[in-house]
Amino acid sequence: MIEAFAELQELSSWLLLAAAILYILVIGESRYAKYYFWAGLLIHGVNFLMRGLDLGWVPLAEKHDTISFIGFSLALSLAYAERKTRNDRLLLFGTPLVVAFLFISFLSRRQDEISPFLNSTWFFLHSVTYFGSLGMLGAGMVAGGLFLHGRVSELEQMQYRMLLYGWIIYTVALVLGSIWFFVAYGTYWLWTSKELWSTLTWFYLGMYAHARLMPRFRGWPAAAMGTLGFAFALFTYFGVGTVIPSPPTAF
């Protein structure tokens, strides 16, 4: 039984690496780029399913898995944006970011265990929505960056759509997280750095979504502000607890 579990773990790692290699082939801008991208996305999804089967829970309780899932959500969001805009540059310039997440995940130490406080339906619902929203914000950043470079209006519109979707799901994630927090710790709020920065990120994205409705703000001001939104969200996850101290209540 232990040997079988170890073999599945090794296979899961190789699948993650294979997905990363296929994503890298997209950057070559060949005529098969989309095929490489979709093959990488498929293998990436299989890897996530295998991790869940191995562990016996939704694999979103440690950085190895959550960082990989951010990359998966980003890839899905890029595929959606490319399909709507028919702009291949979204995949070309967005895929390196997906690859970066996969390699960070691949190099992260796996724990393969879960705290009783995290083994909750509310926590997993919070995790799926939270990290899923980060992928949408990342796709919005890519679309906004390309707009700032080429001033293609449909890219700025796609950025707004992706950031708006991301903000809405991010809001749902915060609500689900507060419910999980109450179930696990007996309170909805502890004034930790992680909670404060998560709220600040929510306000920032909300300010963008509302400011974008102002006609004079549309275009490069909105694109620049929206592009920074993903950096804000990444700092909340990676920076808080590392640069800014925060008690280990989650991740």
* pLDDT confidence band for 169 (50 / 70 / 90): very high
- Which of 29, 184, 215 minimizes the C-alpha distance to 117? 184
Please give the pLDDT value at position 89.
93
- Which of 22, 124, 16, 106 minimizes the C-alpha distance to 64? 106
Question: Mean pLDDT throughout 20-35?
Answer: 88
Asked if residue 82 is part of any domain, the answer here is yes
Please give the pLDDT value at position 194.
85
Please give the DSSP secondary-structure letter assigned to residue 217: G
Q: Which residues constitute the domain of residue 232? A: 2-239
Please give the pLDDT value at position 77.
98
pLDDT at 134 over 80: yes
Number of domains observed in the structure of the chain: 1
Asked if residue 201 is part of any domain, the answer here is yes
* pLDDT confidence band for 11 (50 / 70 / 90): confident
- Calculate the average pLDDT of the chain: 89
Residue 170, C-beta contacts closer than 8 angstroms, at least 6 positions apart: 129, 130, 133, 137, 201, 202, 205, 233
* pLDDT confidence band for 212 (50 / 70 / 90): very high
Asked if residue 247 is part of any domain, the answer here is no
pLDDT at 2 over 70: no
**Residues 177, 120 contacting (CB under 8 angstroms):** no
* pLDDT confidence band for 1 (50 / 70 / 90): very low
Question: Mean pLDDT throughout 187-191?
Answer: 79
- What pTM, to 2 d.p., does this model score? 0.91
Question: Mean pLDDT throughout 210-222?
Answer: 92
* Cα separation, 211 vs 56, whole angstroms: 44
Q: Which residues of 96-114 are buried (b: 16+ CB within 10 A; e: fewer)?
A: ebbbebbbbbbeeebeeeb
Please give the pLDDT value at position 5.
46
pLDDT at 29 over 80: no
* Cα separation, 185 vs 16, whole angstroms: 34
Please give the pLDDT value at position 221.
94
